[in-house]
Amino acid sequence: MSNAKDVVQQQKVAAKDTPHSSMAQAFDEINNLIQKGNLVDLQLKPFCEACSLVSVLFSYLGIAFKFAEMEYTAKLKDLLEASNKFDTLSSVVDFDLKNSTVKSPGSHTRNLRRVRQGLDLIKKLFQNFLSPENMSLKTAATTAYQQVCAPYHTWAVRNAASAGMCTLPSREQLLVNLNETDKSADKEMRKYIKASIDVIKLIDNLYITRGIKLDR
């Protein structure tokens, strides 16, 4: 039986959208477009707007993910500015391909790759968080970071991220910060996981179909 504190928290969650639910809903809507239209491309500006909601979640993870947050937001800002010139994700990649700047530092194509990495990082974190092992947030986040980001970061950044993991909130505190209950968080995390899988796959295919290696 739920106690009074749980009931109050559930009422707060039901009363308004949370940052977490807004993020999950945005990606669910994008995924619905992909599925219904059998899309192989996405409009750049709506994509960036959905991705901006992920930045809020990074901020709740604190110092441990500060570097990932800074990198993600910087790359996303570049893509959002690029949306004034380019309509779709593929137009960004094709522009860099035509100008031989696909792998140039700061190119839109490299920045899209980094944003995709951020989406994958959150997906992996959620998958670990919901695993049967009932991982702590620290374990879930550490594993996700090692899987997604560590191979591309320097030794210094990896060490800083590792040290920062000790500052992560508990599972319970994260839910409070997100204004979620166990039940609502489970629902929204699963919604994001399902939607992001297809969004990430679509981005990867933009590279694969053009013969661009999915590396650094």
Go through the domains of the chain in sequence order and give each one's CATH number. 18-208 (1.10.3520.10)
Condensed to tens digits (0 to 9), the pLDDT of residues 170-207 reads 888 888 888 888 888 889 999 999 999 999 999 999 99
Tens place of pLDDT per residue across the chain (216 aa): 444 344 334 444 443 578 888 999 999 999 998 888 777 889 999 999 999 999 888 877 777 777 778 888 999 999 999 999 999 999 999 999 999 999 898 999 999 999 999 999 999 999 998 988 778 888 888 899 888 888 877 888 788 878 878 888 888 888 888 888 888 888 999 999 999 999 999 999 999 999 988 665
pLDDT at res. 1: 41
- Chain mean position to CA 109: 17
Cα 157 to Cα 161: distance, rounded to the nearest angstrom: 6
Specify the amino acid at residue 151.
P
Pull the structure tokens for residue 93: 């990649």
Pull the structure tokens for residue 45: 């500006």
Instruction: Encode burial over 150-163: b for 16+ CB neighbours within 10 A, e otherwise.
Output: eeebeeeebeebee
pLDDT at res. 3: 47
Cα 145 to Cα 158: distance, rounded to the nearest angstrom: 9
pLDDT at res. 195: 94
Tell me 88's DSSP state: B
pLDDT at res. 13: 40
- Asked whether the beta carbons of 122 and 57 are under 8 A apart, the reply is yes
pLDDT at res. 100: 93
pLDDT at res. 56: 81
